[in-house]
């Protein structure tokens, strides 16, 4: 099957990656819905909603601060670096559900963070918004204006940043190849991006150790971890 797609992939002018927690799992960052996923251990309604935040901001911040420390201590893996390497030869756009910034740290420049960034912090009142890599001395942290700061991530019940989402749709509709790596494709609206690409006639490639809800829509499914499959896939595209 791959041989029949090889020419289309090699001739592609624009390649879009849609990435999820699976690509960062091998950097030591837990997924949310896998066998060892975070939502099997923690209730997202108590930790990842705006209501939970205002009800107990200290508790929510304790959890996010621990995650921030783990993420800041993690390093990009071979999957992240493979995508960054491909971008030196092709027009590559990354549409990621991840909030860890590992794509950028691997060298990728064109990254749209659909769900925000855990490294970026914003104020709940004023327009303060900045990347902060140090630990906070007290939780919840306060802005200079006196109001509580929060992670600049999209919580359950919140909409995606409209400018980011609009750009993501545009890229999905205009790509020749879309590679979906490390995502179960169950979170809306990010799971609609392959449909936009398919409507444009793009080749859809899935990289995931497990079958997903959209596997039957793929032109090729690679049942392997991203850190293993992506370097091999990229090397084939570059030949």
**Which residues are part of the catalytic machinery?**
115
Residue 70, token pair as written in the block: 């783990």
- 97 marked ligand binding residue: yes
Distance CA 71, CA 153 (A): 14
- 37 marked ligand binding residue: no
How many angstroms separate the Cα of 44 from the Cα of each of 40, 115, 200?
9, 15, 35
- 162 marked ligand binding residue: no
Q: What separation, in Å, do the N-terminal and C-terminal C-alpha atoms of the chain show?
A: 18
Residue 87, token pair as written in the block: 């971008």
Q: Are 110 and 92 in contact (CB under 8 A)?
A: yes
- 237 marked ligand binding residue: no
Distance CA 107, CA 30 (A): 22
- 121 marked ligand binding residue: no
- 175 marked ligand binding residue: no
Distance CA 178, CA 192 (A): 12
- 8 marked ligand binding residue: no
Distance CA 87, CA 26 (A): 21
Q: Which DSSP letter does residue 142 get?
A: B
Q: Are 21 and 98 in contact (CB under 8 A)?
A: yes
- 200 marked ligand binding residue: no
- 174 marked ligand binding residue: no
Known binding residues are: 64, 67, 97-100, 123, 126, 143, 145, 182-184, 208-210, 226
Known binding residues for NAD(+) are: 97-100, 182-184, 208-210, 226
Known binding residues for Zn(2+) are: 123, 126, 143, 145
Known binding residues for substrate are: 64, 67
């Amino acid at each position: 099957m791959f041989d029949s797609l090889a020419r289309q992939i090699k001739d592609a002018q624009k390649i879009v990656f849609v990435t999820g927690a699976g690509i960062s799992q091998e950097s030591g960052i837990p997924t949310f819905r896998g066998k060892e996923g975070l939502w099997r251990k923690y209730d997202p309604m108590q930790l990842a909603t705006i209501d939970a935040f205002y009800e107990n901001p200290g508790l929510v911040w304790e959890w996010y601060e621990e995650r921030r420390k783990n993420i800041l201590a993690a390093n990009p893996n071979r999957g992240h670096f493979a995508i960054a390497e491909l971008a030196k030869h092709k027009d590559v756009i990354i549409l990621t559900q991840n909030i860890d910034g590992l794509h950028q740290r691997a060298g990728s420049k064109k990254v749209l963070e659909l769900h925000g960034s855990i490294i970026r912090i914003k104020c709940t009142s004023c327009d303060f918004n900045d990347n902060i890599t140090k630990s906070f001395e007290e939780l919840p942290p306060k802005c200079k204006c006196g109001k509580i700061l929060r992670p600049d991530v999209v919580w359950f019940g919140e909409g995606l940043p409209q400018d980011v989402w609009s750009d993501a749709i545009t890229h999905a509709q205009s790509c020749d190849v879309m590679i979906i790596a490390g995502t179960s494709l169950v979170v809306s609206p990010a799971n609609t991006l392959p449909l936009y690409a398919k409507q444009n006639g793009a080749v859809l490639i899935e990289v995931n150790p497990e079958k997903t809800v959209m596997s039957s829509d793929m032109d090729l499914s690679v049942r392997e971890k991203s850190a293993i499959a992506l370097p091999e896939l990229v090397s084939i595209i570059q030949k």
